[in-house]
């Protein structure tokens, strides 16, 4: 009943939030002199903070309209070039004839939409022809579309890479690094011509036995049956995916926010002060971040449970026991794909050493085709978003891709 309880709560609060937003707009039409104006601004600020604090299931646009390529600004258009019931392969098509390396960005399926990687993609677009795995919200996928587990996730990555064709490159961000390594291993073993030339793994849980974080420890405190009993809900009847078992996105969001609750509370108090002080730039920046952060998607139950068990509990990949449709995954089969791993010094989700474990697993790669980088001063999200991603990590990613062409 967990999903039904959440839905009932949302149905009660959403009209109140809408009323708060409407009330705030009405107050902003009233501009009396001080001290009454200051009091009204405080009321308006409180209404707006409450009005925009709710979780949504609405996927926002990437909103990347143009990008600097060389010395020219070029237009960017999103187009779906391949799709299944569970994901779309989204291409950021640039209005230029300049040929650039094709890069597949594998977005996490961890409760947020792929649009959370907007900055990652914006930076990559400067020098690359970028595609992204745009996963669909499980609550909108009919039950008759079938199940979606770890095997299906790996299969999607392989199919998308085959669509891009030879001489492409792949970037795995956080959670999908395991699936990316598995997909490239299988393709390499099969001598698939679409095996990517380079594989960049950013802050992912390749081996969670190394320097385990609180997230890793939590996954091992309970048996998988507990996760199935306590964390899985059923999509309500009003949605297309009604009857589908899912790990609700609001639960993942709650878990993430509880890890840094003080930080999120502080951000909302700061937003209240910014609104009251009419600091529109600061208020807009806060709203843009949380509009995206509070937009959640549900995960297929089988994918969530298999991820918890196979990656975080039994660590199948580093122990040499990961299988895809009954077939053993062998990272040692990779001999020609350049492997670059990146970790954040302050990452409290994927600890130091967890991503670089891929370098050891790919035992038949020559040292020339292996590289690792630890970025100082950043946490998890700083590895693939923000100033240090753009100025310090991306130049190394670009260099690896150029070397691998």
Each residue's pLDDT tens digit, 321-336: 999 999 999 999 999 9
The mean per-residue pLDDT over the stretch 123-148 comes to 96
Res. 1: pLDDT tops 70: no
Residue 83's beta-bridge partner residues? Answer: 88
Task: Evaluate whether 186 touches 154 at the Cβ level (below 8 Å).
Answer: yes
Pair of tokens at residue 58: 């609405």
Whole-number Å distance between alpha carbons of 298 and 302: 12
Looking at every residue in the chain, the average pLDDT score rounds to: 89
E strand map for 208-276: 233-234, 245-247
- 8-12, 210-214, 247-251, 350-354: segment of lowest average pLDDT: 8-12
3-state secondary structure of 169: strand
Long-range Cβ contact pairs of 217-220 (< 8 A, separation 24 or more): 219/308, 219/312, 219/313, 220/312, 220/313
3-state secondary structure of 282: helix
| Residue range(s) in the chain whose domain bears CATH number 3.40.50.1820 | 66-218+299-404
pLDDT of 259: 62
pLDDT digits (tens, 9 = 90+) for 96-131: 988 999 999 999 998 888 998 999 999 999 999 999
Res. 232: pLDDT tops 70: yes
- 279-283, 303-307, 347-351: segment of lowest average pLDDT: 279-283
Whole-number Å distance between alpha carbons of 104 and 133: 8
Which residues, 6 or more positions from 230, have their beta carbon under 8 angstroms from its beta carbon?
Answer: none
Res. 354: pLDDT tops 60: yes
234 cis-preceded (ω within 30 degrees of 0): no
257 band by pLDDT with thresholds 50, 70 and 90 = low
Q: At what angle are helices 36-51 and 2-27 packed, to 10 degrees?
A: 150
E strand map for 107-261: 129-135, 169-173, 198-202, 233-234, 245-247
pLDDT digits (tens, 9 = 90+) for 206-229: 999 999 998 888 888 889 999 999
3-state secondary structure of 340: strand
E strand map for 124-270: 129-135, 169-173, 198-202, 233-234, 245-247
Res. 382: pLDDT tops 70: yes
Between 100 and 271, whose confidence is greater?
100
Pair of tokens at residue 315: 């660590």
3-state secondary structure of 154: helix
Residue 319 has a CB neighbour count (10 Å cut-off) of: 10
Residue 170 has a CB neighbour count (10 Å cut-off) of: 27
pLDDT of 59: 83
Q: Strands of 72-83's sheet, edge to edge?
A: 66-69, 72-83, 87-94, 129-135, 102-106, 169-173, 198-202, 338-344, 370-375
Sign of the dihedral defined by the CA atoms of residues 7, 12, 15, 20, in that order: negative
Between 191 and 230, whose confidence is greater?
191
- CATH topology for 66-218+299-404 is Rossmann fold (3.40.50)
C-alpha distance from residue 254 to each of 213, 257, 261 (Å): 18, 5, 10
Res. 83: pLDDT tops 90: yes
Taking the model in full, what pTM does it have? 0.86
Whole-number Å distance between alpha carbons of 283 and 28: 15
């Amino acid at each position: 009943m967990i999903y039904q309880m959440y839905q009932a709560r949302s149905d009660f609060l959403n009209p109140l939030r809408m009323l708060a937003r409407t009330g705030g707009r009405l107050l902003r039409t009233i501009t009396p002199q001080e001290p009454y104006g200051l009091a009204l601004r405080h009321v308006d600020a409180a209404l707006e903070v409450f009005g925009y604090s709710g979780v949504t299931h609405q996927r926002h646009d990437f909103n990347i309209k143009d990008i600097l390529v060389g010395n020219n600004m070029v237009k960017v258009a999103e187009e779906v070039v391949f799709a299944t019931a569970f994901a779309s392969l989204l291409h950021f098509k640039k209005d230029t004839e300049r040929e650039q390396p094709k890069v597949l960005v594998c977005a996490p399926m961890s409760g947020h939409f792929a649009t959370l990687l907007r900055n990652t993609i914006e930076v990559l677009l400067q020098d690359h022809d970028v595609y992204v795995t745009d996963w669909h919200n499980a609550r909108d996928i009919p039950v008759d579309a079938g199940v979606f587990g770890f095997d299906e996730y790996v299969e999607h990555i392989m199919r998308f890479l085959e669509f891009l064709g030879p001489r492409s490159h792949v970037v795995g961000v956080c959670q999908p690094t395991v699936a990316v390594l598995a997909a490239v291993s299988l393709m390499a073993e099969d001598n698939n011509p679409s095996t990517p030339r380079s594989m960049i793994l950013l802050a992912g849980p390749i081996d969670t036995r190394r320097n385990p974080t609180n997230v890793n420890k939590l996954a091992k405190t309970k048996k998988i049956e507990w996760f199935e009993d306590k964390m899985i809900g059923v999509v309500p009847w009003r949605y297309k995916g009604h009857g589908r078992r899912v790990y609700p996105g609001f639960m993942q969001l709650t878990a993430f926010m509880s890890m840094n609750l003080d930080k999120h509370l502080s951000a909302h108090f700061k937003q209240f002060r910014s609104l009251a002080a009419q600091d529109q730039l600061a208020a807009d920046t806060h709203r843009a971040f949380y509009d995206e952060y509070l937009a959640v998607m549900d995960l297929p139950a089988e994918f969530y449970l298999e991820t918890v068990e196979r990656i975080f509990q039994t660590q199948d990949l580093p122990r040499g026991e990961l299988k895809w449709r009954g077939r053993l995954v062998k990272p040692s089969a990779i001999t020609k794909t350049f492997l670059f791993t990146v970790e954040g010094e302050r990452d409290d989700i994927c600890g130091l050493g967890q991503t670089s474990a891929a370098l050891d697993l790919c035992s038949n790669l020559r040292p020339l085709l292996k590289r690792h980088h630890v970025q100082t001063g950043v946490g998890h999200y700083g590895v693939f978003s923000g100033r240090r991603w753009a100025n310090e990590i991306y130049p190394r990613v670009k260099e690896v891709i150029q070397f691998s062409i």
